[in-house]
Amino acid sequence: MIELRTFDDPRAYSDALAHAVNDALKASLAAKGAADASVPNAHATLAVSTLAVSGGTSPKPFLQTLSRELLDWAHIDVTLVDDRWVPESDSASNARLVRETLLQHAAAAAYFLPLVDISKALETHVAELNADTRIDCRTSSCSAWARTATRHRFSPTRPSGTSPSRRRSVSRYIPAARRMRA
């Protein structure tokens, strides 16, 4: 069901969104048997939940607020839904944004799975991402269309009229992504 919510200001919106994501992550962790950070001496398992976030300026206040939420961040993997093929030091890097906003405070304990590694050839890194079992997009919850679309977005062909620093991006479709830590 779609629910319409209105907020008086951006801060109220980011707080409400952070609270909703907090609740969803707690429910996911509880369903998988991971420890609840708010329960002293809770028994931790190796189950992990994944949070895939967008970059850009819009989610920045939300990510900053979420970073302070008390969750079992050690059992939460964070990844991006997309990123530009630029070094993490570049201001356009979504990985940089996530490290500077979300992976602070309580959320510093989360495990981060970035999409870009410019030390490798693009095609090599894409193949490694597609083979990475930490977030498995080969499960039945990921469609063949999603994997094809992802590979298409990884295309090294530079569209005409794009700047060299903006010509390549990587993205991954991650519905209900799951993994278990060994």
| Predicted confidence (pLDDT) per residue in 79-119, tens digit | 999 899 999 999 999 999 999 999 999 999 999 999 999 99
Mean pLDDT confidence for 113-135: 86
Q: Residue 98: which domain range?
A: 10-37+44-180
Domain annotation covers residue 101:
yes
Q: Per-residue confidence at 171, pLDDT binned at 50, 70, 90? A: low
**Rounded distance between C-alpha atoms, residue 102 and residue 41, angstroms:** 25
Domain annotation covers residue 1:
no
pLDDT at position 165 is 43
Number of domains in the chain: 1
According to DSSP, the residues that pair with 50 across neighbouring strands are 77
- Please state at what angle helix 122-131 crosses helix 144-153, rounded to 10 degrees: 160
Mean pLDDT confidence for 57-61: 92
Instruction: Pick the closest to residue 104 from 74, 63, 61 (CA basis).
Output: 63
pLDDT at position 39 is 53
pLDDT at position 133 is 75
**Highest mean pLDDT of the ranges 32-46, 59-73, 115-129, 138-152:** 59-73
Q: Per-residue confidence at 178, pLDDT binned at 50, 70, 90? A: very low
Domain annotation covers residue 3:
no
**Rounded distance between C-alpha atoms, residue 168 and residue 17, angstroms:** 30
Domain annotation covers residue 98:
yes
Question: How remote is the C-alpha of 25 from its chain's centroid?
Answer: 13
